[in-house]
Amino acid sequence: MIFIKQQLPLFKKQIYILIFIMLLGGGLALILAKGLDLLGYEGQIVNAEILNLDELEIQGDFIIGQTFVAPRDNLQRIDVVLRNYGRKNTHDVTFYLKPSPDSAEVLYQETFNASTVGNNQWRTFEFPPLPDSAGKTFFFYFASPDSIGGDAISVGGATGDFYDEGNAYLILGPAEGDLAFRTHYGLSPAEKLTILGQRIVEDKPSIWGDIRFYILLLILYGLFMIRVFAQLCKLVQSE
């Protein structure tokens, strides 16, 4: 009994170290997974803090949309900031994706109820990948013929030319501004890492523009983390 009491604090210490190891490893894995996911986004504004188009409700014949150019193949997802004005709206809203504002072809459409829309939150619209999307212009928009003033949602956006390769569209014409949106592409982990490398070295001088410098830093960081894990494991075994 005395021996058990003596060993109990030691056991607790080992448990704390093991929990720390798992949290550290899990946190690094989560950061890596999330980072690779975000690398699928290309060529669009994502800042939802500068929005000032929220007075424009999607209702009746009034639609809000955006043109954009896909920089890569396999366009498969579009995220848009939606706003509910802090109220519970009730009517259906439809998201449309088309080749252009003038095209009659609908590549994808999805209907959802405005009651499911949060305020100033990203909403995802996912569809089968478009394999030859690179370099092509697309147009998405929202319509809700049954919505009325005071019972309608809006799309986040910013007045001003923040996105050079497209424009916001209000009703049937281009507007001076852009919606807050991001497009996602089906990329392999290797392709995402290649994109990351290109972004890191872009427009940087000397060794800062050489990807080998960052690979070396990554290797050194990896070795350091392995040593930390090894030391923690030794602590658990030696106690």
pLDDT digits (tens, 9 = 90+) for 164-183: 777 777 765 666 778 888 89
Q: Name the pTM for this structure.
A: 0.69
Whether 78 shows a pLDDT value over 90: the answer reads yes
How sure is the predictor about 41, in pLDDT bands with cuts at 50, 70 and 90? low
Is a pLDDT exceeding 70 seen at residue 80? yes
Q: CA 99, CA 228: separation in Å to the nearest integer?
A: 52
Q: Which of 164, 183, 187, 201 is nearest to 46 (CA)?
A: 183
Asked if 200 contacts 207 with a C-beta cutoff of 8 angstroms, the reply is: no
pLDDT at 185 over 60: yes
| Confidence (pLDDT) at 148 | 93
* 209 vs 31: which has the higher pLDDT: 209
Residue 138 has pLDDT above 90, yes or no: yes
Neighbours of 193 (CB within 10 A): 14
Rounded to the nearest 10 degrees, what angle do helices 211-238 and 2-38 cross at?
160
Q: What is the structure's pLDDT at 227?
A: 80
Q: What is the dihedral of CA 168, 174, 175, 181, to 10 degrees?
A: 0
**Considering the chain, what is the average pLDDT of its residues?**
79
Give the pLDDT of residue 143. Answer: 96
Predicted local distance difference test score (pLDDT) of residue 8: 45
Of the ranges 2-11, 78-87, 203-212, 216-225, the best mean pLDDT one: 78-87
pLDDT higher than threshold 50 for residue 51: no
Residue 24 sits at φ, ψ, to 5 deg, of: -65, -50
**10 or 41, higher pLDDT:** 41
